[in-house]
């Protein structure tokens, strides 16, 4: 499922900062949308989560997640550069300082990898500026939390507001939702499953946006967290809606999947082929 979830996320970037609850944003939409989307928004350290800059990491050639510290890079090289700068690491090369730095061998020589980071355009100043901003911001946030009270109330508020978003999405359907009446419910096809995923992921994004601690994170970290836990969110939501049913799964768009649905048979065949 994790593999298919990653495929599902490819054509989409979630608009986590512009407050748009109506739709997910495609790459082509974001190119024209300006500075309010993930495609063109810059983090405080100059990081941009955009596929338009480069699809490949300028250091190791892996898939780039955006422009980090001045160069298009993957999360691995981004983290390596940040740690190296913050801890003032001094690396040495055991060979002739011309080691191959690619996806498979990037961890073999740290000296050549760091040198390639600088050649790609990464800057020490970007890391230091980011660290200074975080240090200045943290005390004010900790003072405002007053223990854990605000965090708990924020989570409760986020849950309430995200449920309102879910209720609004349910009202868009042609008929009111009744989880116990299966008479008029239609069997889900693959498009229904995808639509339900979009709906539930949109609710996840809206829920996260109401959590102050989440919005304090850098933009690419927000996206990474949402992607990392989207699968669990979908499975738990599906389980909660289907607890009272036997051999039936109830999707968020009021469609159902039975034990012998074509969607299940197709998934089983794909899983078998993957194994």
CB distance 216 to 163 below 8 Å: no
What does pLDDT average to in each consecutive run of 10 residues of the chain (275 residues)?
46 41 37 34 41 75 91 93 91 92 93 95 85 54 49 70 62 48 72 85 82 82 87 84 82 78 57 43
For the domain made up of 42-144, the CATH class stated in words is alpha beta
CB distance 64 to 56 below 8 Å: yes
**Coil, helix or strand at residue 127:** helix
Q: Residue 48's pLDDT is what?
A: 42
Q: Residue 166's pLDDT is what?
A: 59
Pairing between β-strand 66-68 and β-strand 71-73 as defined by DSSP bridges: antiparallel
Domain assignments of the chain as residue spans, ordered by start: 42-144, 148-274
**Coil, helix or strand at residue 66:** strand
Domain 148-274, CATH 1.10.565.10 — does that match?
yes
Pairing between β-strand 71-73 and β-strand 25-26 as defined by DSSP bridges: unpaired
Q: Looking at the DSSP assignment, which residues form a beta bridge with residue 42?
A: 48
Q: Residue 55's pLDDT is what?
A: 85
Pairing between β-strand 25-26 and β-strand 12-13 as defined by DSSP bridges: antiparallel
Q: Residue 167's pLDDT is what?
A: 61
User: Read out DSSP for 219-262?
Assistant: HHHHHHHHHHHHHHHHHHHHHHHHTT-SSEEE-TTS-EEETT-H
What's the distance, CA 149 to chain centroid? 27
d(CA 129, CA 112): 24
Q: Which tokens belong to 96? A: 């002739």
Q: Residue 180's pLDDT is what?
A: 52
What's the distance, CA 174 to chain centroid? 31
């Amino acid at each position: 499922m994790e593999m298919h979830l990653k495929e599902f996320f490819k054509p989409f970037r979630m608009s986590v900062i512009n407050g748009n609850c109506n739709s997910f944003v495609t790459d082509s939409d974001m190119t024209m949308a300006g500075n309010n989307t993930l495609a063109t928004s810059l983090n405080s350290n100059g990081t941009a989560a955009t596929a338009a800059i480069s699809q490949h990491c300028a250091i190791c050639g892996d898939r780039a997640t955006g422009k980090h510290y001045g160069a298009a890079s993957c999360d691995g090289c981004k983290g390596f550069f940040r740690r190296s700068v913050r801890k003032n690491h001094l690396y040495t090369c055991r060979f002739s300082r011309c080691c191959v730095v690619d996806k498979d061998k990037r961890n073999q020589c740290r000296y050549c990898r760091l040198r390639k980071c600088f050649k790609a355009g990464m800057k020490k100043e970007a890391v230091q500026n980011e660290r200074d901003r975080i240090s200045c911001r943290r005390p004010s946030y900790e003072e405002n939390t007053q223990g854990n009270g605000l965090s708990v109330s924020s989570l409760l508020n986020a849950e309430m507001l995200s449920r309102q978003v879910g209720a609004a999405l349910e009202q868009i359907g042609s008929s009111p939702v009744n989880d116990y009446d299966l008479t008029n419910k239609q069997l889900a096809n693959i498009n229904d499953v995808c639509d339900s995923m979009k709906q539930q992921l949109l609710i996840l994004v809206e829920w996260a946006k109401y959590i102050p601690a989440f919005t304090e994170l850098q933009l690419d970290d927000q996206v990474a967290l949402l992607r990392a836990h989207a699968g669990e969110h979908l499975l738990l939501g599906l389980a909660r809606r289907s607890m009272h049913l036997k051999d039936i799964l109830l999707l968020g768009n009021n469609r159902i999947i039975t034990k012998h649905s074509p969607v299940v048979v197709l998934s089983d065949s794909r899983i078998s082929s993957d194994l």
